[in-house]
Amino acid sequence: MFCKNCGARLEENAKFCPSCGSSQLNEAAPKPFEKNSVDGSQNYQYQTSTFSGKQASYGSSGHVNFAHTKKRSFIGRIIGLIAIAFVAMFVYYLFFDNSGPIYNLTSCTAIDSNYKPIGETSTFSTSATEIFITFSSQDIELGTDIQADWYYIDTEPSTYIDSSIISVVYEQQDAYISLTRPTGGWQTGDYEVDFFIGDEYYITVAFTIE
């Protein structure tokens, strides 16, 4: 056996050179997370570590470095919340908004040939010639009347204006009611339309004229 540093002859299994004093031990660094025999014996050594995050690199001494786990930015959190809100709205409109016997009630300034709203609004000007409310109905017994009572509610008590009545002729149907401008013009203020299925009150639609 010879010294690794000066080449002097050594006794078998010598740990130091008597000539130059150099260590003769195998000082290679243990490999991370592997079984090693650092001192050349059969006493195997184990490195263990518990960590969270992404492992990035190993140092020559067996030291483990960890990549920085980046937190979501404020804008990222806002975008996430907006996405959740859109999903919630979609679920609502898909499963709840059209779940009643009368649904999709919309006040508007005009309608198309399929009774769909044009110019959706809840605020009308005094120059409006006609106010429309479109809606859909389903699962109502055929022949049942849907009645809508128009009220001007800026008086005490509220002032009854007129009633619109539509008979149900299909299991599912689109329909509309409307109120034309009075001869003397619209009274500015708040209005309500109460919907009844047969004799039972169901829902109210509100709008304003200003």
Residue with the bigger pLDDT between 68 and 194: it is 194
CB 173 within 8 A of CB 139: no
Pair 5, 52 in one domain: yes
Pair 132, 181 in one domain: yes
Pair 119, 204 in one domain: yes
135 CB burial (10 A radius; 0-12, 13-18, 19+): buried
CA distances from 41 to 22, 38, 83, 182 (A): 19, 8, 60, 106
For the chain, the domain total comes to 3
Among residues 70, 86, 120, the one where a domain terminates is 70
Pair 23, 78 in one domain: no
pLDDT for res 14? 77
> Containing domain of residue 167, as a range?
102-209
Global model pTM greater than 0.75: no
pLDDT for res 60? 39
What is d(CA 174, CA 134) in angstroms, rounded to the nearest whole number? 8
CATH, residue 174: 2.60.40.10
Pair 10, 56 in one domain: yes
CB 161 within 8 A of CB 151: yes
Pair 110, 182 in one domain: yes
Residue 71 banded pLDDT, cuts 50, 70, 90: low
pLDDT for res 30? 46
Pair 95, 49 in one domain: no
Residue with the bigger pLDDT between 102 and 32: it is 102
pLDDT for res 160? 96
pLDDT (average), residues 193-200: 97
Pair 27, 107 in one domain: no
Pair 106, 205 in one domain: yes
Pair 170, 180 in one domain: yes
Pair 5, 39 in one domain: yes
pLDDT in tens, 96-141: 455 799 999 999 999 999 999 999 999 999 999 999 999 999 999 9
Averaged pLDDT of the chain: 78
| pLDDT beyond 90 at 147 | yes
Pair 110, 175 in one domain: yes
Two structure tokens written together for 149: 């009572």
What is d(CA 113, CA 141) in angstroms, rounded to the nearest whole number? 25
